[in-house]
Amino acid sequence: MYYHDKRLQYPVKVTTPNPQFARMLQQAIGGVEGEIRVCMQYFFQAWGNRAPTTKYRDMLLHTATEEIGHIEMLATAVALNLETAPASAQEAGAADGIVGAVMGGGSAKASIEGLIHKNLLSAGLAAMPIDSDGVPFNMSHIYASGNAAADMYCNVAAESTGRVLATRLYNATDDQGMKDMLHFMIARDTMHQQQWLAAIEDMGGTEGLPIPNSFPQSQEHQEHNYDFFVTSLDGQYPEGRWTGGPTMDGRGEFTVFRNQPMGEEPVLGSARPDSAAQAEQIGEKPQTI
Amino acid sequence: MYYHDKRLQYPVKVTTPNPQFARMLQQAIGGVEGEIRVCMQYFFQAWGNRAPTTKYRDMLLHTATEEIGHIEMLATAVALNLETAPASAQEAGAADGIVGAVMGGGSAKASIEGLIHKNLLSAGLAAMPIDSDGVPFNMSHIYASGNAAADMYCNVAAESTGRVLATRLYNATDDQGMKDMLHFMIARDTMHQQQWLAAIEDMGGTEGLPIPNSFPQSQEHQEHNYDFFVTSLDGQYPEGRWTGGPTMDGRGEFTVFRNQPMGEEPVLGSARPDSAAQAEQIGEKPQTI
Amino acid sequence: MYYHDKRLQYPVKVTTPNPQFARMLQQAIGGVEGEIRVCMQYFFQAWGNRAPTTKYRDMLLHTATEEIGHIEMLATAVALNLETAPASAQEAGAADGIVGAVMGGGSAKASIEGLIHKNLLSAGLAAMPIDSDGVPFNMSHIYASGNAAADMYCNVAAESTGRVLATRLYNATDDQGMKDMLHFMIARDTMHQQQWLAAIEDMGGTEGLPIPNSFPQSQEHQEHNYDFFVTSLDGQYPEGRWTGGPTMDGRGEFTVFRNQPMGEEPVLGSARPDSAAQAEQIGEKPQTI
Amino acid sequence: MYYHDKRLQYPVKVTTPNPQFARMLQQAIGGVEGEIRVCMQYFFQAWGNRAPTTKYRDMLLHTATEEIGHIEMLATAVALNLETAPASAQEAGAADGIVGAVMGGGSAKASIEGLIHKNLLSAGLAAMPIDSDGVPFNMSHIYASGNAAADMYCNVAAESTGRVLATRLYNATDDQGMKDMLHFMIARDTMHQQQWLAAIEDMGGTEGLPIPNSFPQSQEHQEHNYDFFVTSLDGQYPEGRWTGGPTMDGRGEFTVFRNQPMGEEPVLGSARPDSAAQAEQIGEKPQTI
Amino acid sequence: MYYHDKRLQYPVKVTTPNPQFARMLQQAIGGVEGEIRVCMQYFFQAWGNRAPTTKYRDMLLHTATEEIGHIEMLATAVALNLETAPASAQEAGAADGIVGAVMGGGSAKASIEGLIHKNLLSAGLAAMPIDSDGVPFNMSHIYASGNAAADMYCNVAAESTGRVLATRLYNATDDQGMKDMLHFMIARDTMHQQQWLAAIEDMGGTEGLPIPNSFPQSQEHQEHNYDFFVTSLDGQYPEGRWTGGPTMDGRGEFTVFRNQPMGEEPVLGSARPDSAAQAEQIGEKPQTI
Amino acid sequence: MYYHDKRLQYPVKVTTPNPQFARMLQQAIGGVEGEIRVCMQYFFQAWGNRAPTTKYRDMLLHTATEEIGHIEMLATAVALNLETAPASAQEAGAADGIVGAVMGGGSAKASIEGLIHKNLLSAGLAAMPIDSDGVPFNMSHIYASGNAAADMYCNVAAESTGRVLATRLYNATDDQGMKDMLHFMIARDTMHQQQWLAAIEDMGGTEGLPIPNSFPQSQEHQEHNYDFFVTSLDGQYPEGRWTGGPTMDGRGEFTVFRNQPMGEEPVLGSARPDSAAQAEQIGEKPQTI
């Protein structure tokens, strides 16, 4: 179970509120590479973890719990950045009217608010669990496969795209408060990348490959399990680490195979009566009067 | 079954078309607190209502049917506000080119349309069942639980957030036609809040608590059913109506409980063979060759 | 920020694992009336709360944090109920083959797993953030409007439908461990209904109506703001608390109004050239060669 | 605006309630080819219709309004079919225990309800705006393009897939009441297919092609606008009405063209600094210490 | 199976990159009328086609494969149009600062990027499978009904709305490269409209009506299968091809019917005990203590 | 651009059709770890790839093109497994009536079809772009971040969860044809895991860390970038590779830090007038009459 402290994990300050930047920050809350995702992903991986040891479960709980605090920091940052967004025609009228005049094509005063959409209209100038385009986060992005090694790669992927996003946000602002918050979050993403890679090593590294390593490789099609398949019409392909030399698991050699049909043209045959296909698909006459 | 009259329930006039405001109005059509939601919510509550009396079903049908007309009014308002949005480079070129020049970073003429996205590209300058960010309405927001009291609270919630939205839209425009339409819709939201609260009273008010009142409270965990659980690390909590005095249903006293684990650490054990976990989770050796 | 304890808030025991019941429990995790929803809803309401006092924000944080523990309990219950679900043809073959034979229409052994779908295939016999039909939770259900009274009604609605669901689950099982867990959760839902109603009273009760109470009622259409609109063809309507007597806010009288068009037939006119309408809509000849 | 009559458009009777068939009927309510879709599609097409004449708008309103009654009939049919589904372990225990025993793998009594999932758990044995797999209807399926001819083809498509579904449901039941209801709905789908095809003819038939016919065909790439493109490796293709003879609009001849690259390999070049690409993509050294 | 050539089907050039136009182009990639949709729709129709002949399956494969190349062209066009979008405050600072100053309400430098949201933040200035509002494409839009004629109408609908979109994009730009690419795509949409209409004729044209034509029309409700139902309160309706004369399938006459209830008011009765309805719905006393 | 061959990449045979297994196979088509996902993910990564070399782009195109053929194989397998599913009451009546009788609670004949839902009702016994619970694939799962290393980890994650799924399907069937097809697909997943890991090594391996390596680590918060944060109340944590020793990038040492608030309690202050908050949040009196 869980406890809270009202103070933030790290300071969140905004020198110059910027409603547009609030919208960009939303990507780090409700984007597919955002903090709700990693928080819930680590929790579900922990809660469903089955293993002789509890150490992976335990580790995941520490980091999942940390991530709630990251959502909280970002939600605070969004709210602070929205502080100067006009909420009414009266307030907008006091701002520079030029944009409204040319953009709105009409009423100058309503135009700026339109740019922040749901954060004003649905949330009253606060953060929402949406991305930077206003699309709500969908929980299908919580990857927790029941295979701990697969999950760790999902986590490396999440923290890699997460740090990519955080540095883009860092680059996009020159507000010192925001830069400070983000440079802390970027550091935590660095650690979390390291942490999941460390867990992969802890589980045996390349011993863990191919994932799942509980399926006997003797039962997979061994003729093509280390082949790079070429699908270009002219048979050309880019040479690289993947077209020759020892495989990454050390159990084979990369080779190149020019893809071609090994199967036949599929035959599904006629549609069945009562399947509501057209009569021609069934091979009967139309059943109209 | 249903009938229509081509005339609108209430006049919809737009003095100065404003494409940005059209986008804001979309929240009242396809937002989670919009009119499609209440319309369909009341219909599904009515169509599935089971009770010895038909009066709630009947009442819901009246209001659901009214709400179709509200979607219609808003759809008309969106179309009218979009009337001056340029649909082509030629039209845009005739408008003030300044915005295009600085915003588009290139072709001045294509820039303004971008701001209204799908309403131009997918609907040809008309309303769509989307919210103000262009996200389509999702019917999972139709709450119809089969419990009439729970449904009424869902309806109060819908009309409360609905009236909040409508007043934000009212504040954001200074077009007299739009203000007139909205001040009618705000009044209807006032009534609908009253109506659902009246239905709750009609069903017995606090007699109806806790919802569902058909489950014997003797079977719930009575030690903690009126406790405010404190989860702060330091045990501090905000005092209020919820931390002392008689409960809202008049059957107990609010008390405060400092949350702590009553359960144990969960034990899921090792993963099963054939579950495609890693070999380490199963407690066996890797099945690679 | 946040902390965790590895122990559960309340004991979770399963005497006889039941994969079908695991699927039903998913509704309480990822359903629209489930625990992810209330947890995240209370967090976003807290993080975005603006008021002269922090007491509502503080209260919300206590309960949001409690709810993480509820998701955890349910996730544990799902995993425990899935323990006996066969994960392979070999395991299924050991179970009663009758169902497989008649249901699968073919291979007996693969049939039972099909019933639990993604919980086996995607999660390896663990809980997921999905509902009882396997639909992922969508964060658009997090209602946090920026109006504290509207939010409290959303919360009452959530806990009312939540307790309805919990009692349905309680009724549907006869496993003593599951009944024990659920009778605790039902009690907490009782308290949370009380708590949000208490907060509404704390904010002034009917003084808070209509929501938002910061919009001058003098600006709404006062002729129809307490009228029950009748839309039946024959003008009949169900009498009730909503058709007469003082309104719930004490500021008016309910009256009945037979709905009729006050507006005109809307006129959108011809489509514009370059809007990609048909030539007939524009009133020009087809632009084909 | 709109009116209602409490009576159904056509009788809905269920002789032998069948919860499984209730789930199948859900496809006709909330499926992509269901009645919510056509109802809302026709409404949005009507409300946004721009043309010198109002006849298409008017016609659409008649049929959209009819469709509300179809949703109502199906919702009633779902509720009636759910009447015998057990809602509790006690009720299920009274039913045939065999299925529970073999299916649930444990508690016999909870198993049957699992099959109907949300209709029991979330709606209390009533219809929901979901499809037969429990997926909520998503309003992005409301096609209203602003081009009346395109819309009519969307409508023919909707009524064609709709009638396909209705006949599958008719074939799948032998309940006389359900067959009666469905044979009425199938007839209405027949008419609606005719109606939209008639509207296409009314708009000029092949004169309307290609849609939109307001774009000058002289501006499209005329070398390939009537070519069937062959993409098979061996150049073989199925001959048919589409590979020769006059085109459907009577303005050309179908010809066959063997697809081949007319463009070059695209060149995007290096990633930009500050775009958070890897250093190798930018062509610089890693920025680590 | 499939092959590729690195060159594009048709040249894609951008003279003046325009980030706003990139966003508009996204509608043609991930919009419901976009290229992912037709590509996948034709593939799923082909892969599931059942008929005595393979010619429809074969034809669909040719065109589905062509459409992959269209997604590729548009993705290239989006990336090229994004080339000048600033990715950092430093880059934005070098651009015209006026817009930033008035729009952002604060930091000038972060404002422009906000307009392209996920394409910058999540994709690093590249195309995504989203529409012009940033909403991801949802595969429920792949219509493949198992009835070949219904599918062909779905395809005509897709190509009609697709060409409407393509001409809107053509009208919205004055970049010669983009106009050239689009005038090719518009031509292909012309052909594809013709192609699916040709397939309908190939399957027998009006012989195929009503779809499905394998359901005996003698079993549908023949009293109303060619009636235009009037739902207006005053009984007025727009005359047209659909209100009189021979039906489109040549097997009847259009007639007009004034809609009225043929069914009764539905009766669902009281809620069942244990269904978690309110006690009042069940007709029992509240089960509170 | 692209070409096709009508023959399958690898043989697809079904000895004993099994509709339940068809539904399970759907997870490999439209599940988040399925083939549509990897196909489209590799295509979008290729089409948006920016780098001084085209070798990653080229490699991605080969494999993306291969994956279309995998969707095709699975779609064929689904259709073949559905062949014996009854499509009508007549057909179902001929099958074993026992299940229908006990499951349907009524009409025996309609019950079995219900188990396959949309694959029968919406697709006429064919594959759909949905997962094993009938949820449509959502394109937000296409990860293409613009950072090639992050993308490669996303790909390893996709192929790891993909191979986990494929082995679960392999374990769940004893149909020799299906086992043969799956053992080929498992082999290809093995290769693709190797391939993306090889690409990571090709890009410099740990030199690429932290991702993105174009952001100067000197700008991240260096005090905590290699700290494992402990969030347990009692300060206990699981020791592992992540709590000590050299970091995975070789540039630091893992250390342990007990998480505690470094920030303050956030202060958002009162709500603004005109933001539609409650009057109490603004600190004013209710604006009712």
In chain F, domain spans: 19-85+125-207, 216-262
- Band the pLDDT of D97: cuts 50, 70, 90: very low
Query: Is F67 assigned a ligand-binding role in the annotation?
Result: yes
Return d(Cα C108, Cα C99) in angstroms, integer.
8
CA nearest neighbour of C148 among C217, C202, C191: C202
- The pLDDT value given to residue C211: 97
- Band the pLDDT of A84: cuts 50, 70, 90: confident
Cβ–Cβ gap A216/B175 under 8 Å: no
- Would you list which residues of D are annotated within the binding site? 35, 58, 67, 70, 159, 192, 232
Phi, psi of C185 (to 5 degrees): -65, -35
CA nearest neighbour of B110 among E115, E88, E189, E137: E115
B253 three-state secondary structure: strand
Over residues F200-208, mean pLDDT: 93
- The pLDDT value given to residue E191: 98
User: Which of A221, A243, A251, A267 should one mutate to test binding to chain F, selecting the residue with the greatest count of F CBs within 10 A?
Assistant: A221
Q: Is some CB atom of chain F closer than 8 A to the CB atom of A224?
A: yes
Please, are residues B196 and B151 in contact by the beta-carbon 8 Å criterion? Answer: no
E232 three-state secondary structure: strand
CA nearest neighbour of A157 among E9, F211, F41: F211
- Band the pLDDT of D93: cuts 50, 70, 90: low
pLDDT exceeds 50 at position E95: no
Pairing mode, strands C255-258 and C227-230: parallel
Counting Cα atoms < 13 Å in the Cβ hemisphere of B223 gives 5
pLDDT exceeds 50 at position E275: yes
Q: Which residues of C touch E275 (CB under 8 A)?
A: 168
Q: What is the pLDDT of residues B4-44, one digit of tens each?
A: 999 999 999 999 998 889 999 999 999 999 999 999 999 99
Q: Which residues of B touch A253 (CB under 8 A)?
A: none
Q: What is the pLDDT of residues E118-130, one digit of tens each?
A: 999 999 999 999 9
Residues 6+ apart with CB under 8 A from E4: A231, A232, A233, F1, F2, F3, F61, F62, F65
pLDDT exceeds 50 at position E285: yes
Q: What is the mean pLDDT of chain D?
A: 90
Q: Which residues of D touch F149 (CB under 8 A)?
A: 278
E227 three-state secondary structure: strand
Q: Say how many CB pairs under 8 Å bridge B and E.
A: 194
pLDDT exceeds 60 at position E160: yes
Pick F8's closest partner by Cβ from E1, E48, E75. E1
Q: Looking at chain B from residue 11 to 70, which residues have their Cβ under 8 Å from any Cβ of chain C?
A: 11-12, 32-33, 54-56, 58-59, 61-63, 65-66, 69
- The pLDDT value given to residue B288: 73
Cβ–Cβ gap A289/E48 under 8 Å: no
Q: Is some CB atom of chain A closer than 8 A to the CB atom of C84?
A: no
Give the neighbours of chain A: at least 3 Cβ pairs within 8 Å. Answer: B, C, D, E, F
User: Does the domain at residues D19-85+125-207 carry the CATH identifier 1.20.1260.10?
Assistant: yes
Please, are residues D38 and D67 in contact by the beta-carbon 8 Å criterion? Answer: yes
Quote ipTM for the complex: 0.93
Cβ–Cβ gap C288/D251 under 8 Å: yes
CA-based R_g, chain B, Å: 27
CA nearest neighbour of E190 among E166, E206, E174: E166
Over residues D68-76, mean pLDDT: 98
Task: Read off the tokens for E171.
Answer: 């009208």
Cβ–Cβ gap C187/B143 under 8 Å: no
Query: Is F35 assigned a ligand-binding role in the annotation?
Result: yes
Min Cα distance C177 → chain F (Å) is 27
Percent of chain B with pLDDT over 70: 89
Give the neighbours of chain E: at least 3 Cβ pairs within 8 Å. Answer: A, B, C, D, F
Q: Which of A231-240, D244-253, E88-97, E278-287 has the lowest mean pLDDT?
A: E88-97
Q: Is some CB atom of chain B closer than 8 A to the CB atom of A1?
A: yes
Cβ–Cβ gap E4/A231 under 8 Å: yes
CA-based R_g, chain C, Å: 27
Q: Which residues of D touch B124 (CB under 8 A)?
A: 48, 50, 145-147
Return d(Cα A230, Cα A225) in angstroms, integer.
14
Please, are residues E171 and C276 in contact by the beta-carbon 8 Å criterion? Answer: yes
CA nearest neighbour of A28 among A170, A139, A191: A170
- Band the pLDDT of F111: cuts 50, 70, 90: very low
Shortest CA distance from F5: residue in chain A: A261
Q: Which residues of B touch E174 (CB under 8 A)?
A: 89, 107, 109-110
Shortest CA distance from D133: residue in chain F: F134
Task: Read off the tokens for B282.
Answer: 């199963």
Pick D274's closest partner by Cβ from A171, A233, A274. A171
Q: Is some CB atom of chain B closer than 8 A to the CB atom of A7?
A: no
Write out the DSSP string of E8-34.
-SS----SS--HHHHHHHHHHHHSTTS
- The pLDDT value given to residue C203: 94
Return d(Cα B260, Cα F252) in angstroms, integer.
38
Q: Is some CB atom of chain E closer than 8 A to the CB atom of B94?
A: no
Over residues F59-79, mean pLDDT: 98
Q: What is the mean pLDDT of chain B?
A: 90
Pairing mode, strands D2-4 and B227-230: unpaired
- The pLDDT value given to residue D165: 98
Q: Is some CB atom of chain F closer than 8 A to the CB atom of A227?
A: yes
Q: Looking at chain C from residue 176 to 205, which residues have their Cβ under 8 Å from any Cβ of chain D?
A: none
- Band the pLDDT of B287: cuts 50, 70, 90: confident
**pLDDT tens per residue, chain C (289 residues)?**
999 999 999 999 999 998 889 999 999 999 999 999 999 999 999 999 999 999 999 999 999 999 999 999 999 999 999 987 766 666 665 443 333 333 333 333 333 444 568 999 999 999 999 999 999 999 999 999 999 999 999 999 999 999 999 999 999 999 999 999 999 999 999 999 999 999 999 999 989 999 999 999 999 999 999 999 999 999 999 999 999 999 999 999 999 999 999 999 999 999 999 899 999 999 999 987 6
Cβ–Cβ gap C44/A79 under 8 Å: no
Cα dist. B280→A200, B285, D212, F169 in Å?
Answer: 12, 7, 62, 21
- Band the pLDDT of B110: cuts 50, 70, 90: very low
Q: Is some CB atom of chain B closer than 8 A to the CB atom of D8?
A: yes
Return d(Cα E274, Cα E280) in angstroms, integer.
13
pLDDT exceeds 60 at position B115: no
Q: Which of A48-62, F90-104, F119-133 has the lowest mean pLDDT?
A: F90-104
Q: Which residues of A touch E148 (CB under 8 A)?
A: 277-278, 280-281
Give the neighbours of chain D: at least 3 Cβ pairs within 8 Å. Answer: A, B, C, E, F
Over residues D188-216, mean pLDDT: 96
Cβ–Cβ gap B277/A107 under 8 Å: no
Pick F164's closest partner by Cβ from B165, B168, B276. B276
